[in-house]
Amino acid sequence: MLTKARELLKKYYGYLAFRPGQEKIIGSLLAGYDTVGIMPTGGGKSICYQIPALLSPGLTLVISPLISLMKDQVDSLNNLGIAATYINSSLEAQEQEARLYHLAQGSYKLLYVAPERLESSYFRSLLQRQKVSLVAVDEAHCVSQWGHDFRPSYLSIASLIADFAQRPRVAAFTATATELVTNDIVRHLGLIEPHLYVTGFDRQNLSFSVVRGENKKDFILKYISENKERAGIIYAATRKEVDNLYEFLRRKGITSGKYHAGLSDLERSSGQDAFLYDNIRVMVATNAFGMGIDKSNVRFVIHYNMPKNMESYYQEAGRAGRDGEPGECILLYSPQDTHIQKYLIEQSQMTPERKSMEYRKLQSMIDYCHTQRCLRQNILAYFGEEGPDFCNNCSTCNDAVEETDITVEAQKIFSCIRRMQERFGMSTVAEVLKGSKNKKVDQFGFHRLSTYGLMKEYKLKEITDMINILVSEGYLYVTEGQFPVVRLLDKAIPVLKGQEQVFQKTRKRTRKLQADSTLFERLRRLRKSIADKAGIPPYIVFPDSTLREMSDRCPTDRQSLLSISGIGERKLNQYGETFLAEIRDYQSESANSR
């Protein structure tokens, strides 16, 4: 069966080999086992259930909370000649009825629905009359209250599966899941002795950067001006922040879109479509945007504010480089970001236990923003994987840095915390070290401490940054809650005694993405023209990685074009001659200009 699966991979998708983990997951499903696949965003989860669907009798049901993903996936499948459809709230009643009729006639191989659809007894009874051989659950972490996006409607999936006269195989997929969430997926979906495959969280094509202490709007303006032809997403924490940043870019002459829950359905869908169809290059959005968007040619993701946890950050950052081409993930950090996220936690209706966990996750994110170590290593360690000490593709490893000995400053900070009896937050500690004359410092008599004013030559922000670095490096601990307290850890004691040194790394430069070739740009314009005529997003024609390989190898006949990754038989017949003609024209023009 795996031999047949590889044949279909080339025929429909244009790839000669599966990505890491895909073949094992497909083999497990074809052998009849329930399967859990934990794969990073862009790791190719959809192929893991689409190919078993093609090799299985009857219908494959795909359950996803992401309406935009359904349309993207179905458009892509139909473009490949595979019978697929979706049924969700975006359809008019008449169109829903037509699709339900064709479903009853057995016209589809894949059907995409939202979990809320399963609450309809009519729809469930219709499914029971179909030959459903596979149920694929996307974003499976939504079934767990400990996941970062719990959705109660996911809890109805298990009863649907149990109601089938002949139980289908179940495949559950997620990009981010801790051990606790993984156990919930197995239990709440009613999986039977599932095979678990964790393909690894590392996305080696993505570079990671944390930028502190810079004017965020100036940084974004400069970055976009240096990368005008590249598509990217800028995430902000609140609707107000999105609106302000969108207006700022508009005033600067940068065409962009915006997306958040405060906009009308029409405003959101029109902005999203403009981004998908490459009519605009930049989308400014809250984290509500991008869930399920299959756009493969996003080249950068900038977080204007620090996200609330690593799961959210990695999922959002992972929307860059889904085609395997280089992508850049930049987080612009300021201390105010921490206050915003704490406020959002406090305003939520979560239980005290859940809030406590959210505060722990937030502290992990703060540590990431201040760590002196490899950022990739930090991310992978959070998800329980080992990473390299030096990845050569993050701001810690790749940028020019200088090390400064801050042992004396660390000793002053540790001593001050101890003299304040480890009962206050880092802002108050910084004010005491600065020698501030505010009411709180006077009220507690901190102006009489020997550490009062010991770091008066530093700005408050510089002292707070040092404290955050010492937290991220394991010298200090910050308690949970709305009003956290900073305390010493054992690692600080040798420093206090003068037995160990502490160093701070300072970033000296930023990088610019490499310019694209002339042929690549021509092929991209051709792709856009073809997509506009067909009414589909350009990446459905070919991903950037396929265009890049075309521009590097310059194929001039059908056979050599078929050897390009991402070009299968159907797309060769659809688009092959048009792209070959463009390549030949480019070569002819280049020869004549010499």
Residue 285's pLDDT is what? 92
Distance (Å, rounded) from C-alpha 313 to C-alpha 308?
8
Structure tokens at 373: 């170590």
Which range marks the domain in which residue 358 is found? 206-399
Question: What residues are paired with 355 via a beta bridge?
Answer: none
Task: Give the count of beta carbons closer than 10 Å to the beta carbon of residue 123.
Answer: 17
Residues 539 and 431 in one domain: no
Distance (Å, rounded) from C-alpha 102 to C-alpha 20?
36
Find out whether 526 and 507 touch, Cβ atoms under 8 Å: no
Largest Cα–Cα distance in the chain?
84
Q: Is residue 563 part of a domain?
A: yes
Q: Is residue 513 part of a domain?
A: no
Residue 330's pLDDT is what? 96
Distance (Å, rounded) from C-alpha 70 to C-alpha 294?
9
The domain spanning residue 495 has which CATH number? 1.10.10.10
Q: Residue 119 in 3-state DSSP?
A: helix
- Pairing mode, if any, of strands 401-405 and 503-507? antiparallel
- Domain boundary, last residue among 507, 540, 559: 507
Distance (Å, rounded) from C-alpha 30 to C-alpha 52?
6
The tally of CA atoms less than 13 A away on the side-chain side of residue 133 is 19
Count of domains observed in the chain = 4
Residues 394 and 412 in one domain: no
- Domain boundary, last residue among 399, 429, 455: 399
Distance (Å, rounded) from C-alpha 220 to C-alpha 332?
9
Residue 5, H or E segment: helix 2-8
Per-residue pLDDT of the chain (594 residues; tens, 9 = 90+): 789 999 999 999 999 899 878 999 999 999 999 999 998 877 789 999 999 999 999 999 999 987 777 888 899 999 999 999 999 888 899 999 999 999 999 999 999 999 999 989 999 999 999 999 999 999 999 998 776 678 889 999 999 999 999 999 999 999 877 788 899 999 999 999 999 998 888 899 999 999 887 789 989 999 999 998 899 999 998 899 999 999 999 999 999 999 998 998 889 888 888 999 999 999 999 876 655 567 888 999 999 999 999 988 998 998 999 888 899 999 999 878 888 888 888 888 888 888 888 999 999 999 999 888 899 999 999 988 888 889 999 988 886 566 789 999 999 999 999 999 999 999 999 999 999 988 899 999 999 999 999 999 999 988 998 998 898 788 998 887 777 899 999 999 999 999 999 988 765 544 444 555 789 999 999 999 999 999 999 999 999 999 999 999 999 999 999 999 999 999 999 999 999 999 999 998 887 766
DSSP string, 189-229: TT-SS-EEEE--S--TTEEEEEEESS-HHHHHHHHHHHSTT
Residues 350 and 221 in one domain: yes
Residues 165 and 83 in one domain: yes
What pTM does this model have? 0.73
In our burial notation (b when 16+ CB lie closer than 10 A, e otherwise), range 516-555 reads beebbebbbebbbebbeeeebbbbbbbbbbbbbbbbeeeb
Residues 102 and 146 in one domain: yes
Task: Give the count of beta carbons closer than 10 Å to the beta carbon of residue 369.
Answer: 24
Distance (Å, rounded) from C-alpha 476 to C-alpha 414?
8
Residues 350 and 407 in one domain: no
Distance (Å, rounded) from C-alpha 555 to C-alpha 542?
15
Residue 481's pLDDT is what? 73
Residues 218 and 363 in one domain: yes
Distance (Å, rounded) from C-alpha 589 to C-alpha 582?
11
Q: Is residue 271 part of a domain?
A: yes
Q: Is residue 262 part of a domain?
A: yes
To which residue do tokens 């990505």 refer? 19
Residue 343's pLDDT is what? 85
Structure tokens at 446: 């901190």
Q: Is residue 225 part of a domain?
A: yes
- Sheet containing 298-303: which strands, arranged edge to edge? 206-212, 327-333, 298-303, 231-235, 282-285, 256-259
Find out whether 365 and 383 touch, Cβ atoms under 8 Å: no
Residues 82 and 193 in one domain: yes
Q: Is residue 512 part of a domain?
A: no
The domain spanning residue 361 has which CATH number? 3.40.50.300
- Domain boundary, last residue among 198, 222, 242: 198
DSSP H stretches of helix in 287-437: 310-317, 335-347, 352-370, 375-382, 395-398, 407-419, 426-434
What are the φ and ψ backbone dihedral angles of 424, each rounded to 5 degrees?
-135, 165
To which residue do tokens 């809890």 refer? 155
Q: Taking the CA atoms of the chain, what radius of gyration do you get in angstroms?
A: 26
Q: Is residue 243 part of a domain?
A: yes
Residues 130 and 167 in one domain: yes
Residue 594's pLDDT is what? 61
* Helices and strands in the chain, H and E counts: 26, 17
Q: Is residue 246 part of a domain?
A: yes
Distance (Å, rounded) from C-alpha 312 to C-alpha 286?
12
Distance (Å, rounded) from C-alpha 111 to C-alpha 101?
13
Find out whether 317 and 208 touch, Cβ atoms under 8 Å: yes
Residue 510's pLDDT is what? 46
Structure tokens at 80: 């490949």
Residues 424 and 353 in one domain: no
Nearest-10 Cα torsion for 387, 392, 393, 395: 100
Question: What residues are paired with 302 via a beta bridge?
Answer: 234, 330
Residues 351 and 219 in one domain: yes
How many Å from the N-terminal Cα to the C-terminal Cα in the chain? Answer: 52
Task: Give the count of beta carbons closer than 10 Å to the beta carbon of residue 486.
Answer: 25
Residues 387 and 413 in one domain: no
Structure tokens at 501: 């040194």
What are the φ and ψ backbone dihedral angles of 289, each rounded to 5 degrees?
-90, 140
